[in-house]
Amino acid sequence: MSRFLAACVQLTSRADVAQNLATVARLCGEARERGAQLAVLPENFAFMGAGEQDKFAHAETLDGARPGPILGALAETAARTGMWILGGGMPEKSERDGFVHNTAVVVSPEGQLVTKYRKIHLFDVDIPGGAQFKESGTVAPGAEAITVDTPWAKLGLSICYDLRFPELYRALSAAGARVVIVPAAFTLHTGKDHWLTLLRARAIENQVYVLAPGQVGRSHDNRVCWGKSAIIDPWGALLAEAPDRECVIVAEVDLAWQDKVRRELPCLLHRKL
């Protein structure tokens, strides 16, 4: 199967987990109605609180046999729609006291947890007049690049700030990823100038499809996200881009086209690391 339809779900998540998950279920249903076989959700899809400590109340142990409310809701939605669903970042309980992991989860159409990825690069910035975040104060970083096999292609997983570190995507590409996932909650300050440029760069330099669902708009007084969820092909072409609201975008992933790009410009074979 060399072609499939993929969807990016764009959200404005807030502090109400139940409401956020209801929106996820509704928009995943729309994605399925439009033919998508894979739906990808942004970072913080289930919860976006105003304080860094707020997420601890919603952190889950990611056990497919005994899922918590967030993972359980994703499993139910995946089984109902018959899609693969990637939840782009949720609070996972950590063995380190006072910390959680920011973790992406992949759920099969049978509602089973297939794999998880813990965000490696943590967003610590203090821009005068702009963003002020210290993710490392409450989040323990992951340490492993993760890929996952699907019926169509191997996916490479990442989350938001990872996008600024091309060596991660090189590692995912070298591990066989043909599609990379970049769920995000990019800030307005950085997103307006860097988001699309970085996404296209990762696609072009690794000759991969990029699926990048984002948070959009104001979640609370201290957080405004850029949105502009995007699907980009291995040539760097923008196949779909979201408007400034909660919505679904869908585009075709054509692996035969990707093979053609890689044959005609075999830069991945020319790497000298």
What b-and-e string marks burial along 190-200, b requiring 16 or more CB atoms within 10 Å of the CB? bbeebbbebbb
Name the burial class of residue 119, with classes exposed (0-12), middle (13-18) and buried (19+) by CB atoms within 10 angstroms of its CB.
buried
| Token pair for 40 | 């990808």
Looking up tokens 């813990």 gives 118
* pLDDT for residue 126: 82
Question: What is the pLDDT of the chain when averaged over all its residues?
Answer: 96
Number of domain units in the chain: 1
Residues 6 or more apart in contact with residue 217 via CB below 8 angstroms:
12, 224, 225, 227, 244, 245
> d(Cα 209, Cα 162) in Å, to the nearest integer?
16
pLDDT for 86 beyond 90: yes
* pLDDT for residue 85: 98
Please count the CA atoms within 13 angstroms of the CA of 265 that sit on its side-chain side: 10
In degrees, rounded to 5, the angle at the alpha carbon of residue 253 between the alpha carbons of residues 152 and 186 is 110
pLDDT for 18 beyond 70: yes
> d(Cα 15, Cα 220) in Å, to the nearest integer?
9
| Structural domain boundaries enclosing 109 | 3-270
Query: Among all residues, which ones are annotated catalytic?
Result: 43, 119, 160
pLDDT for 144 beyond 70: yes
pLDDT for 84 beyond 80: yes
| Tens digit of each residue's pLDDT (9 = 90 or more) over 56-75 | 999 999 998 899 999 999 99
Neighbours of 79 (CB within 10 A): 16
Cross-strand partners of 103:
90, 118
pLDDT for 215 beyond 90: yes
pLDDT for 130 beyond 90: no
DSSP 8-state secondary structure symbol assigned to residue 66: S
Range 136-152 average pLDDT:
97
pLDDT for 23 beyond 70: yes
Name the nearest CA neighbour of 40 among 225, 253, 272.
253
| Token pair for 180 | 């990379």
> H/E element holding 216?
strand 216-220
Give me the CATH number covering residue 113. Answer: 3.60.110.10
* Confidence band of 131 (pLDDT split at 50, 70, 90): low
| Tens digit of each residue's pLDDT (9 = 90 or more) over 256-265 | 999 999 999 9
Name the nearest CA neighbour of 195 among 186, 207, 203, 185.
186
